[in-house]
């Protein structure tokens, strides 16, 4: 094991204007193992939406780091999160993405559990000649030490020593409100899950979601298609894009077009002004949302917003609306589970518009995401070069970064730790610092310091 120290991986000296990462943070196996233990299995992570298990005895499965987890709604309607592993021999109890089961019977030796995780039967118990001590042991599924719901977003922790979820989300919870409030019925995942992998580190996805700097560099082929489609807007046969209504990302745009917010615990937002346009499927609710929440909050719902809730949840509302769950597999391999997230009860027309915009931009079979993931892989290959190991991607925007919020965060009554207001070419990269400061807090002591 390489003898890393935190200060050798993250060189964070604000007074000197220095923030840089050692490339090993992305490709060292020992760092990865500690990340799994300290970050994914050592604190709050996103599990799913409550709407994935809407009715009694519904369940869905996911992963927390390396650990299989089942989220189940019991007969009384209460949700619970359990390690998806039989206490008898360790086999996974639920093998499907989701389902409905009053009882879960382990397929290996038929130990049986109800939808609240309680053991209901041990096969041939009486004939089993168990020692007396066995009856004093719980045979229930192991519940996650912490499980919490915020506005339909479910979070869990495999360790007991965590702050309350409200404190963990902090002011960033107001950005989840912007998603949840788009419909009085809440949000849902549109049927159809898309999963892809890429051969690079999970933190490249963490960064890319917040990366305003890459858009015109990585996606010119997509941008050119959009420009052509915009010229043929009368042709209903092509997919209309939300980007066409906004020019904040274009090189020639002037004035404040968006910016970034950084929050405690590693949550960040990269945002841009879109305007209230019928190019967005939410347009059918524009007046109703204004009446309910006021113009400022309504307008924020229409803004381009790329939100990361550290470490594994991203909600991107830009070309369409995507919920992503990041699942690290190895230092150089990551799995992304992705869904179209949408307000419940929207019209069929709006839903169809949302889907078509989604597929073209977000899918690994679309016209944008592959240009990101292939770039991550190019980075991962490049990280092997450690002649100068320090990456220079974390100080762009430094002199524009302000402590606390600005007029735009005030519209939401939101108090971020730092904010940047940007024109189209500023493209703040200091917001990544928030990820790595949270990372460093979670990893403190892990390297034997």
Partner 1 sequence: MITRPEAEDLLYREALLLDTGAWQEWLDLYDPDAEFWIPAWKDETTPTSDPASELSLVYYKGRRNLEDRVKRATSGLSVASTPRARCVHGVTNVIVSEAQDSAAQVFASFTVHRYDARAERSDLFYGRYEYQLRHDSGRWLIAAKKVILLNDVIPTVLDFYSI
CB of residue 316 to partner 1, shortest distance in Å? 15
Residue with smaller CB distance to partner 1, 199 or 423: 199
Which residue in 140, 284, 296, 335 binds partner 1 (CB under 8 A)?
335
CB of residue 257 to partner 1, shortest distance in Å? 23
Residue with smaller CB distance to partner 1, 120 or 351: 351
- The enclosing H or E element of 168 equals helix 165-169
Question: Are the CB atoms for 242 and 272 separated by under 8 Å?
Answer: no
Q: What does 429-440 look like in DSSP terms, one character per residue? A: -TTHHHHHHHHH
CA torsion 84-90-95-101 (nearest 10°) is: -60
225 binds partner 1 (CB under 8 A): yes
68 binds partner 1 (CB under 8 A): no
Give the phi and the psi of residue 345 in degrees, each rounded to 5. Answer: 80, 10
329 binds partner 1 (CB under 8 A): no
Helices 173-180 and 295-302 pack at an angle, to 10 degrees, of 90
Count of residues interacting with partner 1 (CB under 8 A): 47
**Site of tokens 């996911």:** 62
Which one of the spans 81-89, 250-258, 300-308, 365-373 is the region binding partner 1 (CB under 8 A)? 365-373
- β-partners of residue 271 are 259, 305
How many other C-beta atoms can be found within 10 angstroms of the C-beta atom of residue 107?
11
CB of residue 253 to partner 1, shortest distance in Å? 20
Three-state DSSP at 383 gives coil
Residue with smaller CB distance to partner 1, 244 or 377: 377
Q: How far apart are CA 205 and CA 369, in angstroms?
A: 11
Which residue in 194, 279, 316, 350 binds partner 1 (CB under 8 A)?
194
Paired tokens of 28: 């060292």
Which residue in 68, 152, 186, 364 binds partner 1 (CB under 8 A)?
364
Paired tokens of 285: 């609710």
CA separation (Å) from 38 to 76, 83, 157, 162, 284? 34, 18, 11, 12, 44
365 binds partner 1 (CB under 8 A): yes
Paired tokens of 74: 């019991």
Residue 8, burial from CB neighbour count under 10 angstroms (0-12, 13-18, 19+): middle
Which residue in 8, 91, 351, 415 binds partner 1 (CB under 8 A)?
351
Which residue in 68, 152, 366, 389 binds partner 1 (CB under 8 A)?
366
Applying the rule CB under 8 A, the residues between 195 and 224 that interact with partner 1 are 195-199, 218, 220-222, 224
CA torsion 345-347-351-352 (nearest 10°) is: 150
CB of residue 371 to partner 1, shortest distance in Å? 5
326 binds partner 1 (CB under 8 A): no
Q: How far apart are CA 324 and CA 339, in angstroms?
A: 7
CB of residue 194 to partner 1, shortest distance in Å? 5
Residue with smaller CB distance to partner 1, 148 or 242: 242
Question: Are the CB atoms for 59 and 47 separated by under 8 Å?
Answer: no
Which residue in 171, 359, 428, 429 binds partner 1 (CB under 8 A)?
359
- β-partners of residue 342 are 188
Which one of the spans 77-85, 141-149, 203-211, 233-241 is the region binding partner 1 (CB under 8 A)? 233-241
Applying the rule CB under 8 A, the residues between 96 and 125 that interact with partner 1 are 96-98
Instruction: Please give the residue ranges that form the binding site for partner 1 (CB under 8 A).
Output: 96-98, 190-199, 218, 220-222, 224-225, 228-229, 235, 237-239, 335, 339-340, 348, 351-352, 355-356, 358-359, 363-367, 370-371, 373-375, 377-378
């Amino acid at each position: 094991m390489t003898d890393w120290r935190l200060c050798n991986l993250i060189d964070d000296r604000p007074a000197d204007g220095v923030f840089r990462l050692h490339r090993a943070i992305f490709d060292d196996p020992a760092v990865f193992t500690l990340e799994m233990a300290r970050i994914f299995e050592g604190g709050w992570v996103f599990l799913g939406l409550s709407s994935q298990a809407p009715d009694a005895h519904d369940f869905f499965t996911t992963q927390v780091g390396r650990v299989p987890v089942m989220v189940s709604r019991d007969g009384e309607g209460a949700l619970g999160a359990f390690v998806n592993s039989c206490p008898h021999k360790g086999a996974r109890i639920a093998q499907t993405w989701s389902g409905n089961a009053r009882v879960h019977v382990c397929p290996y030796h038929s130990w049986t559990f109800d939808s609240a995780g309680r053991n209901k039967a041990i096969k041939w118990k009486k004939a089993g000649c168990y020692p007396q001590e066995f009856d004093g042991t719980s045979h229930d599924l192991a519940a996650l030490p912490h499980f919490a719901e915020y506005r339909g977003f479910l979070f869990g922790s495999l360790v007991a020593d965590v702050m309350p979820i409200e404190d963990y989300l902090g002011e960033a919870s107001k950005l989840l409100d912007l998603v949840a409030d788009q419909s009085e019925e809440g949000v849902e995942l549109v049927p159809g899950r898309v999963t892809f992998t890429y051969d690079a580190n999970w933190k490249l996805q963490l960064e890319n979601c917040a990366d305003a700097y890459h858009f015109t560099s990585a996606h010119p082929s997509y941008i050119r298609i959009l420009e052509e489609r915009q010229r043929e807007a009368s042709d209903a046969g092509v997919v209309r894009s939300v980007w066409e209504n906004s020019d904040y990302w274009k090189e020639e745009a002037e004035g404040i077009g968006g910016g970034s917010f950084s929050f405690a615990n590693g949550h960040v937002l990269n945002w841009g002004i879109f305007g209230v346009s019928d190019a967005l499927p939410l347009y059918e609710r524009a007046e109703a949302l204004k009446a309910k929440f006021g113009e400022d909050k309504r307008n924020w719902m229409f803004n381009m917003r790329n939100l990361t809730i550290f470490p594994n949840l991203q909600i991107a509302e830009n070309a369409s609306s995507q919920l992503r769950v990041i699942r690290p597999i190895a230092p150089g391999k990551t799995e992304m589970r992705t869904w179209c997230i949408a307000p419940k009860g929207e019209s069929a027309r709006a839903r169809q518009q949302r889907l078509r915009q989604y597929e073209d931009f977000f899918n690994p079979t679309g016209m944008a995401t592959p240009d990101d993931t292939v770039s991550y892989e190019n980075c991962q290959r490049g990280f092997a070069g450690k002649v100068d190991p320090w990456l220079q991607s974390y100080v762009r925007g430094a002199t524009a970064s302000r402590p606390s919020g600005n007029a735009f965060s005030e519209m939401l009554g939101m108090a971020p730790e730092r904010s940047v207001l940007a024109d189209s070419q500023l493209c703040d990269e200091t917001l990544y610092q928030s990820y790595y400061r949270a990372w460093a807090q979670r990893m403190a002591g892990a390297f034997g310091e």
